[in-house]
Structure 1
Amino acid sequence: MNTNPSRFGYNPAAQSQAVFDESLRKHMLRVYNYMGAGLVLTGLVAFIVSSTPALYVPIFSTPLKWVVMLAPLAFVFFFSFRIHSMSARTAQLTFWAFCAVMGLSLASVFLVFTGTSIARTFFIAATMFGATSLYGYTTKRDLSQFGSFLMMGLIGVIIASVVNIFLGSSALQFAISVIGIVVFVGLTAWDTQNIKEQYAENFDQESQHKLAVFGALSLYLNFVNIFQLLLYFTGERE
């Protein structure tokens, strides 16, 4: 007598994989929901500040602009060093605070570029991000081999950007924009695959929640940087 469970339409291994795939799908959806909500918050803050002279004049016409510009970087470092010790709720609140501060920093975009070019650039950035993140999620290729190369490229872009603040070279800015877009597009695929693989390590509920928030932060940063760098090519100044 054949007692193979598959004969009766039941396969434990297949069912277990199906349950995991559904859980992973829900986890990735949570990551993208956090990221999307963060972008909405950033956009609202940036638009409100740029539309209110009483807010943007004291910020961008004084040295306070440097505090606003550097504050997001401080948040990222804080997040990176404290994510393991903070609760999921604290991580989520910190993420929302970061998105709001990033909105303050990006308010200058609305002051410099036309609304039409901002919308067009956002659509292009969203298309690039979506396609690359989908690749990172679906590909069977191990992207970890590119991690060190991408991180070196990121460090190079950051250093060059800081140097160009003082040089003001258009040629250097062009190179930064081109290389930066390549780096952040690559990081989008790499981070997406990394988020997916980390979920497979069977963390507890609290850790998975924090992983979703931190994953959203990583993808959010990639998207914002792609958007800002693309503005160099597609943005039309007021």
Structure 2
Amino acid sequence: MANRLPRISSKHKVCIICEGNEEYKYLERLRELHVWNDIYDISLVNAEGNGNIPARYQDRYQNGSYEAVLVFCDTEKKPYEQYEDIKRKINEFHGIDNVAEEIVIFANPCTMQIVSKHWTDETIKSPAKKVNAPLIEKFTGVKDYKGKAAQIDKLMKYVTDANYDTMRNNICKATRDEKLVGSTNFNKLISYLDSCDSTWITTLNQVLE
């Protein structure tokens, strides 16, 4: 009789709560390209809106199936009310001041700030799809980008392992000050998942304890 016990993976299980479709599809694309170190087993959750992020985060954290749970979201525009609310709720959940700084991967003002870095180092200054549509069309040929599912799928085909390094180099130049347009700490996620050194997970969990 066949052994029906589940195969236990030795990989480090990491869950990333994605704000919406763009964030989810982008990280899904990077996962498909195998640009990250193979020691990580990455699970992605589409929160389908920034208002759902804290509950999704708490659920996956309390689930106990993951060694680390992170959040990937936009800051949107000033005064960043919803973004600040996400961080406040994560801090309150853990009962630790400013711990969200270790958990939340952000892009100011939007995730297209990161995606576009695969092709250009231009700074995206608005989260408005209409404003960014010409830039997206210039580099991908996707016309009149509105963030529709089919458009996102088409766009992600232009994200490749070949231009991953271009994005990484461009992101390294970006400021990490979340209050500044064009800022992002996505480099933190890259440094975590590119590395064969998983001690960042231990360090994160020590902070949360």
Report the TM-score when normalising by structure 1. Answer: 0.23
Bigger fraction of residues in helix: 1
Report the TM-score when normalising by structure 2. Answer: 0.25
With a CA cutoff of 8 Å and minimum separation of 6, indicate the structure with the bigger relative contact order.
Answer: 1
Larger radius of gyration: 1
Bigger fraction of residues in strand: 2
